[in-house]
Structure 1
Amino acid sequence: MLNSKININSNKNIKQFFNENQLTNFIKEHIPQDASSRKYYRLNNNLLLMESTSSENKNHEFIKVSRHLKKIGLSAPKIIKVDHKKGLYLIEDFGDLTFNKAIKNNISEELLYINAIRCLSHIHSTNPPLDFPKYDYKYLLDEVNLFIDWYFKEINIKLNNDSINNWQLSWMKIFKNLGQNKLVLRDFHADNLFWLPKRKEIRKVGLIDFQDALIGDEAYDISSLLEDVRRDVSEKTKSVAIREFIKLNKIKNKNKFIQNYNIFTAQRNAKIVGIFIRLARRDNKLKYLELVNKAMNTFLQSAKRAKLKEINEWIETHIPKNKLYL
């Protein structure tokens, strides 16, 4: 983070926003972001100024989901002031203690992840908003298509139409049996979860980056949490977390749940391979290339565990072994 104070006079919109809302707080520091185009500035009094001018950032959706999560008793940032026209938002600041940082500060990984599981189960125990879109096969297919769009460009292989159609048809057969009745936050992992130890019970977990939320399958977010490409979750924590989730969600068909967990792990990591290559090549964020091989390995191993026969055969047919990894 930058320790120097930011001069608001250098940004006309921010200066006007401050004046219009009688904000006496000065900006203390800018908080760097990686994959997002949003900018965050830390203010006094546990406040953040979010500057988000791109429609891709889904500002309206962010506010809508935040208010829903707070309504059901969870810790989502309080929305204090909104100016959609300027793309400026005054929101609650959860501080710096993400799960990743908490673990580095010797806070128990198992403790953190069990609390995240309880938070997730609470979300699933409440009725999702009726007007949220379904996380249906169209969304899921668009995501796995990022893999063939970007990975094959990276390894310099051109796919013909038949190959692309076979890829899509194979996934569509898989997606048709997945659930669509739970609120899915879609980026539920250690960098987007904050540890708030002074709060009580499930409110100890601070939630951010949920503007892409949809109504989907209960296995998606727990897969996102435990099969995190950015950090290795211990096998013990995974096992304890999955058992707790099955118990709290009263899952009767455990085998089907584990199968869906593996399917989403494969689907999500295929998508991540494509997204990370896109971030590197289109947006010049080259550090994401370092994680591509891990995401690829997680995709391949999960597809094997889930016995996704057509996907596994498609990969064997279309990617030479010496090009499975960058």
Structure 2
Amino acid sequence: MRRDTPPRETVIRRFLEQAGWGAARRQPMGADWSARRYERLTLNQGTAILMDCRDEVAASQVPPFVQIAGLLRDCALSAPLILAGDEPQGLLLIEDFGSDDYARLLDGGEEPWQPLYEVATDVLIALHQRFVPAAAPDLSRYDVGLFRDQVMLFADAFAPAVRGQALPAGAWDELAQAWEAVLPAALSLAPTLLLRDYHPGNLMRLAGRAGVAACGLLDFQDGGIGPRAYDLVSLLEDARRDVPDDLRQAMIRRYVAAFPGMDRGAFAASCAILAAVRHARILGRVAQLIQATTGAPQLSFLPRVWGQFTGAIRHPAVSPVARWVERHLPANLDADAIVRSF
């Protein structure tokens, strides 16, 4: 006879008891777009964060989170210390970086923005100068196939929604082939550690730390070995806020200046292609979430991200994707039309 699985709360309490935090006060902190949930624990003037990965997919991300946290700390960057873990159960107790995430600071009126973005850009410079891919041979590889598979949610969810009907026969394969044609140029420069969700919501201002260590890093469990431009694009072409163009261009120049031997044309092409990939994937994911939950607040992301996507595909390196969009999506698709689609 199969034994019943203990209730999740029982599993969590047992874990906290074993870690010495059983008497802690627990304060829910919410969730992200996955099955992960977070709590802040307080015990004897100390705090920690409980990461609760409730399903098999989320739990499978715990080992890479632990591994990448170690790799980042090896590069003298501020990833949280792992205080305790039960990887099979999808539970981690990690260092608490506080509440000063960049998103809260920016949206709360922090002025000027430039110092925060300079530190965040310098973190990427330091990471890309210090990290050696051979140190992590088992990490996921962000190659043409992986990027193509992730971005095709654009055809699965977003394109049918704005068209008001399914794609015509052959259009899905046509878009997959367009991405396969442009993606090799995005991967032409030497690879590095790609964190994947490098944006203000996952960056923390840490008091008492200097230089790049003053920026705490979170939510990198989907990271892997991939193109160096991706995280810079993620930082500067933010789905949640408009980054002024002069600030964006200043941070690109700051990054490029740190790598004088890098092919600047190849880097610009990589930025454009990866921006198009990221924005298309977000459009597809948000469309999927909206369709699954009526009135989802993610609707507000769509017009901004659509504008970022159409800007990225204007680069000649992304022209096969631009031609597909011209053939298969409504002409002059604007913010109002996108909102009406959902």
After TM superposition, the score normalised by the length of structure 2 is 0.87
Question: Would the alpha carbon gap of residues 19 and 197 (structure 1) be closer, same or farther in structure 2, given more than 3 Å must change?
Answer: closer
Deviations 1:138-180 (A, max 9, x none): 1111122110000133233222342222211111111122326
User: 1:264/1:285 Cα in 2 relative to 1: closer, same or farther (>3 Å)?
Assistant: farther
Partner of residue 65 from structure 1, selected from 63, 68, 87: 68
Matches within 5 A, 1:119-130: 119-125=123-129, 126-128=131-133, 129-130=136-137
- For 1:203 and 1:293, the matched residues in 2 are separated by 35
Is the 8 Å Cα contact of residues 46 and 94 (structure 1) preserved in structure 2? no
Contact kept in structure 1, 2:194 and 2:223, CA below 8 Å: yes
Structure 1 length normalisation: TM-score? 0.91
Which sits farther off after the overlay, 58-67 or 178-187? 178-187
Aligned to 2:207: 197
Q: Tell me, in whole angstroms, the C-alpha distance in 1 between the residues paired with 2:15 and 2:86.
A: 8
Say whether the 8 Å CA contact 1:184–1:218 is kept in structure 2.
yes
Between 1:73-82 and 1:105-114, the stretch displaced more is 105-114
State how far apart, in whole Å, the 2-side matches of 1:318 and 1:91 are: 46
Question: 2:112 aligned with 1:115, yes or no?
Answer: no
Residue 19 (structure 1) aligns with: 17
Residue aligning to 1:29: 27
Aligned-partner SS, 1:123? helix
1:148-297 to 2 correspondence within 5 Å?
148-155=155-162, 156-179=164-187, 181-283=191-293, 286-297=296-307
Quote the residue 1:75 is aligned against. 78
Pair 1:47-2:53 in alignment: no
Q: Which amino acid aligns with 2:288?
A: R
- Per the alignment, in what secondary structure is the counterpart of residue 51 of structure 2? strand
Identity of aligned residues (%): 28
**1:300 pairs with one of 286, 291, 310:** 310
Q: 1:263 to 1:72 in 2, by over 3 A?
A: same
Contact 1:35 1:279 (C-alpha < 8 Å) held by counterparts: no
2:13 match: secondary structure: helix
Runs of 4+ in structure 1 off by over 6 angstroms are none
- Look up the equivalent residue of 1:133 and give its one-letter code: S
Could you say what secondary structure the match of 2:262 adopts? coil
Alignment length (residue pairs): 318
- Give the gaps of 5 or more residues in structure 1: 1-8
Structure 1 residue 85, shift from structure 2 partner: 3.3
User: Is the contact between residue 78 and residue 91 of structure 1 (CA under 8 Å) also seen in structure 2?
Assistant: yes
Q: 8 Å contact 1:276–1:289 — kept in the other structure?
A: yes
